[in-house]
Amino acid sequence: MKKICLSLLVIISVIAVSFCGCQDRGNPVSRGPVPAGSYRYQGFDSEGASIVVGVISISYRDSVSVVGEWALENIGPASNIGPQIGTGLLTGRVDGRSISIDLNPGWADNNVVLDGKLVDGRIEGQWTWITFAGPTTRGTFVATKVS
């Protein structure tokens, strides 16, 4: 009887996990004022020097929540820019023409957050590296839609 109950529990768990992975990612064209798709990303330090380039991709989970991926590389001399180099998943929220993106969802510390607004078809704003001590380093960014 224990084997049957354990097997049933495993089957139910697999089904539940499968349904979680089948969420609607939304219309890939646009589901809100900030268009879904891929963006060419360029990050700048606090003095305006280009330090990070790459791609961020966003899609809508619902009318205000976005999910996606990022792939960024360091091209400048900046050293205190937090974990925005490499690849990862992102989550965020849209409020009108504003968007807030967490490049490190699920982390309690050591996060990079992008806060931007849609301006002339681009997302422009500020990135902030946040640690337990609070905001550590800031800069600006521009993300231009490519698809």
Q: Decide: 101 and 76 in contact? Cβ < 8 Å.
A: no
**Residue 20 pLDDT class (50, 70, 90 cuts):** very low
Indicate whether 6 pLDDT > 50. no
The whole-number pLDDT of residue 73 equals 96
Mean pLDDT of 17-22: 36
The β-bridge partners of 87 are: 71
Domain that holds residue 81: 26-145
Helix (H) or strand (E) run with residue 46 in it: none
Q: Percentage of the chain surpassing pLDDT 90? A: 58
- Answer yes or no: is 57 within a domain: yes
Entry pTM: 0.76
- Answer yes or no: is 21 within a domain: no
- Answer yes or no: is 62 within a domain: yes
CATH number of domain containing 112: 2.40.128.120
Q: In this predicted model, what pLDDT tens digit does every residue of 107-133 receive, in sequence order?
A: 888 899 999 999 988 999 999 998 888
**Residue 31 pLDDT class (50, 70, 90 cuts):** low
**Residue 2 pLDDT class (50, 70, 90 cuts):** very low
- Answer yes or no: is 20 within a domain: no
Task: Tell me how many domains the chain contains.
Answer: 1
- Token pair 């704003």 in the structure block, residue: 125
The β-bridge partners of 145 are: 39
